[in-house]
Every structure is written in structure tokens, then in C-alpha cells.
Structure 1
């Protein structure tokens, strides 16, 4: 089975852009993805696009609508919908196409426009990724669902509101260094804990924003990679998992079994473990989601996530840096683009292109993308390939 490599990755700014469309945002991401590569649109064998289609725009054939717009004429294009994990699964399908031999170069990505509809409509479109009959139609919001998860974690493990707030403080500090971030400002622990309550115990600073944006990734086979770039990042392992869509249907409220399964599979396929990670981009749609992710991907034991973040272990200078991009909390959460956006950060870190957020010579990174409250999850492990030189900023670094 052939190896797959990321040879390019890019995104638009994330935020609110009344003057942009889903097509123009996707074009921006695609153009950034091509930078530093020798890829021409005609080289792409297949494209996979993740989107929920918030607001009802182009519900049928949104994939070809964006790929034709950027010049991928006639390229077979598939739309993936797995809620907030849509483009994470798009990347996974791209890796599968490469490894199967069906394609040598695949574009995988996602796009969403969420800020041009009313707050009520946004809540509706977010809610469709929850269990429809018993959760959404009974009035439950996603903030309400994750508040139940936070309450369960607090009850079972003694997690505190301030420990939730540490997620916001860290991710806003990271996002303040990210020029693509929607909420690029810092906040204090007091700001986060004392902010207005959205769904008890979650405050405003414990919740990510709604966002417009796009992100794309180019994946190449080991047979074709030398034609396109010298900057290569190997996809070391991929794992995915599904679960019951409704939180009330699961055996636990304080973890995401689909993410645990996805991480376990990815580690097994990579021949690696949590101790090998230099950084991770995890799905922090709400602060409790990041804490559960620590436990689900094995950074700490079950119930220890609150103490783990308070110790500083996930800061950029800590044991395993988490969400150097700012995460969904600060960078933003354009549903269909989020998973691919995580891969953009991993690619930038592993190729020395993360700017002010750059870690010191990272070798292995992980992305963790969750759909809904855990109905789907996908995890990728990426590693720096030592057969190439980092040529960022015009300097070769062995």
C-alpha cells in the first residue's frame, strides 16, 4: 500500500465576510495551497469537499460548484457531510484514494459560510447535526449538549470552571499569533470564568464562534510526490470512528468513544503513541471538548484533563502543544472547513511555516476532528519526512 503525503495546504482567513461567497473563500484557500508547489490544476486526479451547507446554499452538488470555480474542470468531485468532521473525513478519503492507487494527486478540503443568516437559523443548522427526533426537536442546542458533557465530567472527575477557562486562555493566546484567526485577541482566566453563561456551566468564552472560511489540502502518492514539491509531510496514520448521534443514547457523557477508537486506530497504523506527539490540533468547539480530547487521544488518563491543562502541559512550551492555531475557540469554526484547517496547521508546523506560532523542530503531529457531539470522529497522524529540506524563508534547514 502506497504512502500518502501532504504536499500543500492553505486556508482563507476565518471570520465574518459579507463580501465573500463559498466559492470565493474556497478559491482563496486553493490558491494558498498551491503556493510553493509545482501543481497545476490539471494535475489533480480527484477532489473531495466537506461542507454542511449552512443556510441552504447549493445543497446539491456543492463540490463541483467550488472545484469548477477554481479550474478543476472535469475532475471527479465528491461532497462529504459528516457535520463538523466533514473535511477531516474528506482528507481521510483522499488518503484512501492515494493508498488504493486510484489517484496520484488529490485535493481535499472544505468550506462553510455561517454568518449571513440569522442567529436562529445558525442554531437550526448547528442543531441538524444532533439527534433530530429527541434532541433538536425538544429544543436542545449544541451548547446545551456540551454543557451536559461538562456537567458529567465535573461530577465524575471534579473538573472546575476555571479548568475549562484555561482552554480559552491558552487558545486565545495562540490565536492572537495567527493572522487567519477570527478572534485574534487574548483573554484572562477571570474574563473566561466570569463571562455570561451560555449553558451552565459553559460561559461565552467556553464556546467557539460561528464562522465563514475554507481550507484545502493537496495529497500526493509516494510515486508522484517529486513532481510537485520538496516540502513533504507523510500521513503516518489515519483512524475514524462513529457512534450513536444522540448523546442520550451513549454509555458515557464524559468522553467521546468514537474519538478514542479513531485515535487508537491511527496510532496502531502509524506504529506510534501519544508519547510520540510534539503537538495536536483538537476539536475544541466547546472548552469541555478539548479536555475530553486530551483523554480520548491519550495525552492523560481519564479524569485528569482538568489538572493536565492547569499544569501548562498543553501550552506551546509544554509537554505536548495543543491548538497552536488557536483552535476552534479562537481561530473559528466554519463547520465544513474545520478538519482541513487543522491539517493546514499541522503542515505549517512540520514544514517550519507557522510564523510566530512555530514550535521548535516538531517531528510528529496529530489532528482530531469530531462531528456533532461525537457521532463521528477522525484522527490523522502526520510526520516530518527527513528526505527533504525545509526551505522556508529562503534558508535550508537540514
Structure 2
């Protein structure tokens, strides 16, 4: 078995970019990743693309403009976890010796498809009932309020923290002055108790990564673990809120593979499409007991200068959420943090980083998939 390493990362800017072609967004991200890895495009042995709403043949459309020799290419769709699912396949391919160098790409252009919330799949009960994801996350939040006494102010603190971080991210979609808790709560109600400023925006963008073996390069990051789980049945017998169990299963595998415990993680990028999502995810990852995750942001524990910074990029709430690109955008941020190159948003302790991306939500399942990966600067 080979030790997989992260050689390079790159991204496009994020935002509503309907005038740009999907391929152009991808090319920008790939070009930066290739430069960052210090390789020529003809060094790439395979390409894995994560995309949810990309056009048919999106991988080949991207390849056409890259000058990459004819190599195996395939596309992965796993809802919001599409990009990190593609990354996981690349990691396992390198580990097994199938390929020596794999380009991973996540790309999405949503502004030309949706003006607001993503329309649910019509064949699912949620689609038939017109229950989009903001409503599903709102049900999570409502249960946490009723069961654990989570307050609206604690939910809003996630938005304040992540939007404050996003101000210092030049690639983020939303970079306006960070709101106060009162401003978050006063913004337009989307799905009670989640207000407008507690929801991620509709986004376009691309992100890329180069995964290869251990070549002895000082900048390469050690991929200590990568775990991907698919959704399991979720119904009236389930004791946790929707989405919790899939994150917990992936986290358990990732920590076991890396031989680490949650307290050893220095910096995290997690799936915060809605404020309640960060709270539930941190509990599922083991950073807090059930019902206590809402205390982390107000206490400063997850602030950029806190003990375990979470979403220093601004998270999905600020950076944006171009579905297929999101996981690789998170990976790029962790790479910059671990290398000490995150500029104004750099965290103090940055030896070990974690990325979590959860893709939801086929009806009757606790998510489509979840990926958790742990990386470090230690060789």
C-alpha cells in the first residue's frame, strides 16, 4: 500500500457567475492546482470529477481544454459530498497503486438553474410535499431547541463567526461586514427558526486537488485518513436527527484510520449549509457531547483564535456552496491553513486538519453520503 499525499490545490472565485462557462471555472481551479503541485499536466494519470448538476460529459468537457493526455476519467455524484467523494476515490486509487497521480475536480454552476432553494426531487416524499432542504434543516433546529434548549442566539452565533471569517477570504461569495447576532435574527425568516443570514447562498465555482504518492516534497500534506459512508435508513426508529448518524459513522472510521482523537484536530472545515448543520456536525465528530455543540461558537472555542477553529474560510455560509465544488473548496482551505498560507485568516495551531462534507437528502435515508478526511504536516 502507498501513502497518499495531497500535492496541490486550487480554486476559482465563488459567487453567482452565470456569464462564465462551467469549463472555464474548472480550468481556473485546475491550473492553480497543477501549479501548486509543481507538475506538468501530462503527469496526471486519471481525473475524477464531482458534480451534481454539471452538464452531461462534464469531465470530458473540462479535459478538452486542459491538454491532458487521454487518461481514465469519471464523474461522481453524491449530492453535496460529490467533490470529497471524488477525492476519496482518488486517495484510495493512489493508496492501492492503481494510479500515481490523480486530478480531482469539483465544479458547479447553480445560478443558471436555481434562483433560490434547490428544488427537491419530485419522486421523493419531500419533493411531493414541497419540503426543500431549508425546511429539513429547520426541523433539525426545532428539535434541538425543544430537546436541548438551544437558543436562537446560539444558532445565530454560528452565522456571526463564519461571516466574520469570510470577510478575510478574497475568494468568498459573501464578504460584507459581519452581522451582529441581532441582525442575523432580524433577517428575513426562511424556515422557522432559520433566518436568511443562517442559510448558505446559491453559488457557482470550482475547486481542484492533486493527489499522489509520497514523493518527499516539503509542501505535500500527509493524508492520514479518508472515510466515505453512504446513507443508511432513517425513519421513526432513528434516535438522532437526520444527518447525524452518517457523519458519526464517517468520523469514527476516519479517526480510527488516522489513530487520532477529536482533541488532536487543530483546524476544521465542516458542512455548514445552515447554522444548525455546524452544531450537529461538531457533535457527530466528537468535539462536543450531544446537545452541547451550540455552546462552542458563543464560548469562542471554534473562533479563528480559539482552541479548535471551525470554518476559518467563512464556511458555506460565506464562501458559498457550489455543491460539487464545496468539499474540495474545504480541502483547499485546510491545505492553505496547514501550510501556514491562509494570510489574514491563518490560525495559530495548524499541524492537523479535518474536512467533513455531508450530502443530503434522498427520502428515508440519513443523507446520501458523508466524507471525513484528516490531513497533517507530519511525515
TM-score (norm 2): 0.94
Q: Does 1:382 align with 2:378?
A: no
SS in 2 for 1:123: coil
Q: Alignment partner for residue 116 of structure 1, among 96, 105, 112?
A: 112
Q: Structure 1 CA distance, aligned partners of 2:270 and 2:169?
A: 16
Q: Structure 2 CA distance, aligned partners of 1:72 and 1:250?
A: 47
The answer for the alignment partner of 1:17 in structure 2 is: 17
Q: Runs of 4+ in structure 1 displaced over 3 angstroms?
A: 244-251
SS in 2 for 1:323: coil
Q: How does 1:287-306 map to 2 (within 5 A)?
A: 287-306=275-294
Q: Alignment partner for residue 332 of structure 2, among 338, 344, 363?
A: 344
The answer for the alignment partner of 2:133 in structure 1 is: 142
Post-superposition Cα deviations, 1:344-393, rounded to whole Å, max 9, x if no partner, equal: 0011011111111111241000000000143311100000135xxxxxxx
**Larger mean Cα displacement after TM superposition, 80-89 or 369-378:** 369-378
Q: Structure 2 CA distance, aligned partners of 1:241 and 1:249?
A: 20
Q: Structure 2 CA distance, aligned partners of 1:362 and 1:343?
A: 14
Q: Does 1:327 align with 2:327?
A: no
Sort the Cα spacing of 1:15 and 1:326 in 2 relative to 1 into closer, same or farther, 3 A.
same
Structure 2: unaligned runs, 5 residues or longer: 362-366
Post-superposition Cα deviations, 1:255-306, rounded to whole Å, max 9, x if no partner, equal: 5101000001000000001010001000000000000011011111111011
User: Following TM superposition, by how much is the alpha carbon of 1:249 offset from its aligned partner in structure 2, in angstroms?
Assistant: 7.9
Post-superposition Cα deviations, 1:140-168, rounded to whole Å, max 9, x if no partner, equal: 11100110111111111111111110110
Q: Structure 1 CA distance, aligned partners of 2:74 and 2:236?
A: 32
The answer for the alignment partner of 1:67 in structure 2 is: 63
SS in 2 for 1:71: coil
The answer for the alignment partner of 1:392 in structure 2 is: none
The answer for the alignment partner of 1:209 in structure 2 is: 201
SS in 1 for 2:26: helix
Q: Structure 1 CA distance, aligned partners of 2:236 and 2:65?
A: 42
* C-alpha contact (below 8 Å) 1:13/1:213 kept by paired residues: yes
**Larger mean Cα displacement after TM superposition, 321-330 or 238-247:** 238-247
Post-superposition Cα deviations, 1:193-243, rounded to whole Å, max 9, x if no partner, equal: 111110001000110001000000001112xx24xx531100001112222
Q: Structure 2 CA distance, aligned partners of 1:267 and 1:101?
A: 23
SS in 2 for 1:52: coil
TM-score (norm 1): 0.90
* C-alpha contact (below 8 Å) 2:266/2:352 kept by paired residues: yes
The answer for the alignment partner of 1:390 in structure 2 is: none
Sort the Cα spacing of 1:207 and 1:247 in 2 relative to 1 into closer, same or farther, 3 A.
farther
The answer for the alignment partner of 2:181 in structure 1 is: 189
Structure 1: unaligned runs, 5 residues or longer: 387-398
Sort the Cα spacing of 1:69 and 1:248 in 2 relative to 1 into closer, same or farther, 3 A.
farther
User: Following TM superposition, by how much is the alpha carbon of 1:36 offset from its aligned partner in structure 2, in angstroms?
Assistant: 3.6
* C-alpha contact (below 8 Å) 1:215/1:337 kept by paired residues: yes
Q: Structure 2 CA distance, aligned partners of 1:28 and 1:86?
A: 19
SS in 2 for 1:109: strand
Q: Structure 2 CA distance, aligned partners of 1:117 and 1:344?
A: 26
Q: Structure 1 CA distance, aligned partners of 2:157 and 2:334?
A: 22
Aligned Cα RMSD in Å?
Answer: 1.7
Q: Structure 1 CA distance, aligned partners of 2:258 and 2:65?
A: 36
* C-alpha contact (below 8 Å) 1:246/1:375 kept by paired residues: no
Q: Structure 1 CA distance, aligned partners of 2:153 and 2:179?
A: 13
Q: How does 1:249-288 map to 2 (within 5 A)?
A: 250-253=238-241, 256-288=244-276
The answer for the alignment partner of 1:52 in structure 2 is: 52
The answer for the alignment partner of 1:218 in structure 2 is: 210
User: Following TM superposition, by how much is the alpha carbon of 1:2 offset from its aligned partner in structure 2, in angstroms?
Assistant: 1.2
Q: Structure 2 CA distance, aligned partners of 1:180 and 1:247?
A: 39
The answer for the alignment partner of 1:41 in structure 2 is: 41
